[in-house]
Structure 1
Amino acid sequence: MRIVGGGVEAVTEVGYRRARVGGGSEAARLPVGRLRVDRLPAGCDAVLVAGDLQGVAPSPWGGPPVLLGVALADFLTVWAQEGSVPVPERVGVVLAGDLYAAPAADRRGATGAVRDVWWAFAAAGCPFVVGVAGNHDEVSTADLAEAGPHVALLDGTHVDVGGVRFAGVGRIIGDPKRPGRRAEEAQTALIDRVLGAGPDVLILHEGPCGPAPSQPGRAEPAARIRAAPPALTVCGHVHWPVPVATAPGGHTLNTDARAILLTV
């Protein structure tokens, strides 16, 4: 899955509420775009990649606000009916972590359960849902076990789907006494392990830096990726104004507060 398009093409957007700096909440828009790749997993017409969906939004089906990721999963069916995206049964999903928001979207850095987001994409009929946990996510393989074998939380592991190998490492580098963090040595060891499996797509929450000053990230993952580059690295955690960066052997795609449909 190698990026071949020149840039992200806008498709639609989702209105939501997120925590505001200094307290309270504010209105925001989640951009949904399209980006061309050279191939997709067999049985898919698109792969939706998304991360840092830290907000709440109304579902198109009504009811009280839900986690933004749940609303995004619900909107897939609506957009498919409008003809702007393929049907969910033909859309695989890659999640790069940090999918939680406080119920009132009024606390920055809130941590909580994100099982519902993963299950929402599975319930929508998506053929697979793979990804990693961010530093603000509470989710485990046990939480997702009954969603089926096509749903995989990756952490130092990989999975093959439709001829494409996805590998992932969740969390971020930091004090392991704090939630969602690992010591640098432990985190980079896991990255080395999954790169050794030769993935087509590497999924991280905290990813490598890009070549531009406006594309911050960690130097340690960047060094590991240079040594054994996958075609595509998906990450988030910090925002890049321009989400795509050329990397040795491929590209890095930053999904912080955005959703992108990969299509051929």
Structure 2
Amino acid sequence: MRIVDGEPVALTEVGYRRARRGGGVEGARLPVGRLRVDRLPAGCDAVLVAGDLQGVAPSPWGGPPVLLGVALADFLTVWAGEGWVPAPERVGVLLAGDLYSAPAADRRGAGGAVRDVWWAFAAAGCSFVLGVAGNHDVVAAGELAEAGARVALLDGDCVVVGGVRFGGVGRIIGDPARPGRRDARTQTGLLDRVLAEDPSVLVLHEGPPGRGAGQVGRAELAARLRLRPPALTVCGHVGWAVPVSAAPGGRVLNVDGRVVLLTT
């Protein structure tokens, strides 16, 4: 799966609430765009990629605000009914982590359970739901097992779906005494294990730096990726104004606070 466009083409936005820097709550817009790739997993007409959905929003079906990722799964069904995205059963999903928000969206950096986001996409009937945990996520592979074989939390392993090999490593490099962090040696060891299986698509929460201004990331990860580069690396954790960067052997797609629909 190689990106063949330069930047996403804007499709729509989803309004939501998030914690404001310095305290309080603010309104925000979640951009939804489209990028073309050279191939998709068999059985898919699109792959929805998203990360850092740290906010709450009302579902299009009504009711009180829910985690932004849960609302996004509901919007996917609505958009499919309107005919401008494929039916959910023809859409795969890649989640790059950090899907939690405090219920009132009034605390930056809050951590908590994100099982509901994963289950929302599975309940929508999506072809597959794969991804990693961010440093603010509380989720375990066992919590997702009942959703079926095509729902998988990746962390140092790979799966093959529709003829495409996906690998993933969650969390970030940091003090292991803090939630969602590992020391650099452990994290790069997990990455090496995944890269040894030659995934076409690699999903990380914290990714490598890009080549453009402001495309920050971890140099330790970039050094590993240069040795066995995937065609596509998906990440988040820190926002890039320009979400795509060239990388050795492929591209990096940063989906911090955004949604990108991959199509052919």
TM-score range, shorter chain: over 0.9
User: Corresponding residue for 2:142?
Assistant: 142
Q: CA deviation at 1:6?
A: 2.6
Partner of 1:210: 210
> C-alpha deviations, 1:38-96, integer Å up to 9, x for none?
00000000000000000000001111000000000000111011111111110000000
Match of 2:222, SS? helix
Q: Counterpart of 1:32 in 2: which secondary structure?
A: strand
Per the alignment, residue 24 of structure 1 pairs with 24
Q: Provide the C-alpha distance between the structure 1 equivalents of 2:51 and 2:123, rounded to a whole number of angstroms.
A: 19
Task: Report if the CA contact (8 A) 1:173-1:187 is conserved.
Answer: yes
Partner of residue 157, structure 1: 157
Give 1:120 shift.
Answer: 0.2
How many Å separate the matches in 1 of 2:14 and 2:21?
A: 21
Partner of 1:124: 124
* TM-fit CA distance, 1:258: 0.1
How far did residue 260 of structure 1 move? 0.3
Aligned to 1:220: 220
Aligned to 2:112: 112
Percent identity, aligned pairs only, is: 77
SS class of match (1:74): helix
Structure 1 distance, partners of 2:129, 2:89, is 11
CA displacement 1:12-40 (0-9 Å, x = unmatched)? 11000000011111000000000000000
2:260 paired with 1:260: yes
1:94 and 2:100 aligned: no
State the distance in 2 between where 1:84 and 1:241 align. 26
Tell me whether 1:187 sits opposite 2:187 in the alignment: yes
RMSD, aligned α-carbons:
0.5
Alignment check: 8 A CA contact 1:51 1:96 kept: yes
- Equivalence for 2:51: 51
Q: Secondary structure at the match of 1:71?
A: helix
SS in structure 2 at match of 1:84 = coil
Which residue identity is paired with 1:89?
E
In the alignment of these two chains, the number of paired residues is 264
User: Quick one: distance in 2 between partners of 1:84 and 1:23?
Assistant: 37
Q: Displacement of 1:151 after TM fit?
A: 0.2
Q: Return the letter of the residue paired with 1:236.
A: G
**Which amino acid counterpart does residue 170 of structure 1 have in structure 2?**
G
- Paired residue type of 2:93: V
Instruction: Determine the C-alpha separation between the residues in 2 that align with 1:19 and 1:6.
Output: 31
Query: Which secondary structure does the structure 2 equivalent of 1:241 belong to?
Result: coil
Give the Cα–Cα distance (whole angstroms) in 1 for the partners of residues 60 and 36 of structure 2: 27
Instruction: State the distance in 2 between where 1:178 and 1:7 align.
Output: 35
SS in 2 for 1:245: strand
- 1:143-182 deviations in Å (ceiling 9; x for gaps): 1011111100000011000000000000000000110000
Distance 1:212 1:3 in 2: 17
Which amino acid letter does the alignment assign opposite residue 219 of structure 1?
A: A
Report the Cα distance in structure 1 between the residues aligned to 2:91 and 2:183, rounded to whole angstroms: 35
Matches of 1:221 and 1:257 in 2, distance apart?
A: 21
> If the length of structure 1 is used for normalisation, what is the TM-score?
0.99
**Structure 1 counterpart of 2:70, which letter?**
V
CA contact (8 A) 2:6 2:244 kept: no
Q: Provide the C-alpha distance between the structure 2 equivalents of 1:135 and 1:227, rounded to a whole number of angstroms.
A: 26
Dislocated runs of 4+, deviation >4 Å: none
TM-score (normalised: structure 2): 0.99
| CA distance in 2 between partners of 1:142 and 1:249 (Å) | 34
**SS of aligned partner of 1:78:** helix
Q: Is the 8 A contact 2:45 2:263 kept in 1?
A: yes
Q: Does 1:69 align with 2:69?
A: yes
Superposition deviation, residue 7 in structure 1 = 1.8
Residue number in structure 1 paired with 2:168: 168
Give the secondary-structure state (helix, strand or coil) at the position aligned to 2:145: helix
